[in-house]
């Protein structure tokens, strides 16, 4: 409670733990678009946003479900390879609109090494956007490609019951988890090809 007439209540979103206004101010002062990455267990979202006087304006927005809808992605949409591809697609869309640079905004999440936010960042970087970053935070290339998932699936080959349980989504979509790295490479190639031919940019 306020104990002085000089007490000033924090902004509502700061009280709710939704916005760090000091960081937010730094983003706005930079004058550069923000690359915002948000993730849940099942999905990843990447957006390019600019601050305007009337409020934030979203220039590019990509949801990981778009990978399945437009590019044939069969694996879950919330894993590390999907995060990378979501960022890669976001970067391709941004480049198509003439956007060349951005600043990473991961909100109030702790910047843990190899997190999905940094997998998405790697995708944006590989698409050609200039984004300041720390090399040590990026996931290992093999993890981005899903090699760790493929190896785990192979280790469960002698336990069919657990294999079926752990990879039910993959099997339901007729994607053997051991082939995830190849599937990842194909979807990435399809994204590149689509933008070279001018398709699937929206």
Residues 31 and 51: beta-carbon distance below 8 Å? no
* pLDDT value of position 11: 59
* pLDDT value of position 62: 98
Residues 153 and 167: beta-carbon distance below 8 Å? yes
Share of the chain above pLDDT 70, in %: 83
Mean pLDDT of 141-157: 97
Residues 48 and 141: beta-carbon distance below 8 Å? no
The whole-angstrom separation of Cα 66 and Cα 68 is: 5
Give whole-number Cα distances, 75 to 8, 110, 127, 168, in Å: 49, 26, 21, 10
Identify the DSSP state of 101.
B
* pLDDT value of position 55: 78
pLDDT above 70 (res 26): no
The DSSP code sequence of 110-123 is ---TT-HHHHHHHH
- What are 44's strand-pairing partners? 39
C-alpha angle 110/112/118, rounded to 5°? 105
Residues 193 and 201: beta-carbon distance below 8 Å? no
* pLDDT value of position 201: 46
Which pairing describes strands 34-39 and 44-52: parallel, antiparallel, or unpaired? antiparallel
Query: Domains of the chain, with CATH numbers?
Result: 16-196 (3.30.420.100)
- What are 50's strand-pairing partners? 57
Instruction: Give residue 112's pLDDT band: very low, low, confident or very high (50, 70, 90).
Output: confident
Q: What is the pLDDT of residues 156-191, one digit of tens each?
A: 989 999 999 999 999 999 999 999 999 999 999 999
Residues 87 and 64: beta-carbon distance below 8 Å? no
Q: What is the average pLDDT value for the chain, to the nearest integer?
A: 89
Q: What is the pLDDT of residues 30-61, one digit of tens each?
A: 779 999 999 999 999 999 999 887 878 999 99
- What are 39's strand-pairing partners? 44
Mean pLDDT of 112-128: 95
Q: Which residues touch 26 (CB under 8 Å, ≥6 apart)?
A: none
Mean pLDDT of 1-9: 63
* pLDDT value of position 106: 85
Residues 180 and 81: beta-carbon distance below 8 Å? yes
A 10 A CB-CB count for 137 gives 16
pLDDT above 50 (res 86): yes
What tokens appear for 87 in the block? Answer: 């960022």
């Amino acid at each position: 409670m306020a104990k002085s007439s000089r007490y000033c209540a924090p902004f509502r979103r700061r009280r709710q733990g939704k916005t760090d206004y000091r960081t937010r101010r730094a983003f706005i002062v930079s004058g550069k678009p923000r690359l915002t990455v948000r993730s849940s267990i099942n999905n990843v979202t990447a957006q390019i946003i600019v601050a305007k006087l009337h409020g934030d304006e979203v220039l590019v927005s990509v949801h990981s479900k778009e990978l399945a809808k437009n590019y044939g992605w069969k694996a879950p949409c919330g894993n590390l390879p999907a995060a990378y591809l979501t960022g890669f697609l976001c970067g391709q869309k941004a480049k198509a609109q003439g956007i060349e640079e951005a600043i990473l905004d991961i909100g109030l999440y702790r910047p843990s090494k190899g997190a999905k936010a940094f997998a998405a960042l790697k995708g944006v970087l590989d698409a050609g956007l200039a984004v300041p970053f720390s090399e040590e935070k990026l996931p290992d290339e093999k993890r981005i490609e899903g090699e760790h998932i493929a190896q785990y699936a192979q280790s469960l080959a002698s336990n069919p019951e657990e294999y079926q349980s752990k990879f039910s989504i993959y099997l339901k979509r007729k994607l053997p988890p051991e082939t995830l790295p190849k599937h990842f490479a194909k979807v990435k190639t399809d994204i590149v090809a689509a933008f070279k031919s001018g398709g699937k940019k929206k």
